[in-house]
Each structure stands twice: as structure tokens, then as C-alpha cells.
Amino acid sequence: MQPTPVDWGEAFRIVGGGLLVVFLIMSLLAVATTIMGKIFMAREAKKKAEAKAKEATA
């Protein structure tokens, strides 16, 4: 296959876009997972506190 001459402007746009997309998606996933974790941990803590309170009243 004979390659066509390289359009370096397009090549750097691809690189910039690619890095941006990868970091954006991974950052969003990190944020979403952190929020998810906080919600579930708070729920767990609440459940434990409720169970402790029940135990104390019993």
C-alpha cells in the first residue's frame, strides 16, 4: 500500500482529540465512581448506625 502524504495538522488534531477524550472519559468515570462510592458508603454507615441504635434500645 502506498501511503498518501501525511497531513500533520490532522495527525496532531487526532492526537489532541484522542488524549482529550481518553482523559475526559476516565475523569468522568472517576467522578461517577467516587460519587457512587460515597452514596453507598453513607448508606452502609447509616444502616450500621441504625442497627447499633436498635441494639442499644433492645
Check binding of 49 to another protein (CB under 8 A). no
**DSSP 8-class letter at 6:** P
Per-residue burial over 17-52, b if 16 or more Cβ lie within 10 Å, else e, is eeeeeeeeeeeeeeeeeeeeeeeeeeeeeeeeeeee
Looking at the Cβ atoms of 9 and 56, the one nearer to another protein is 9
| Residue nearer to another protein on the CB measure, 8 or 56 | 8
Q: Given the rule CB under 8 A, which residues bind another protein?
A: 1, 3-6, 8, 10-12, 14-15, 17-19, 21-34, 36-37, 40-41, 44
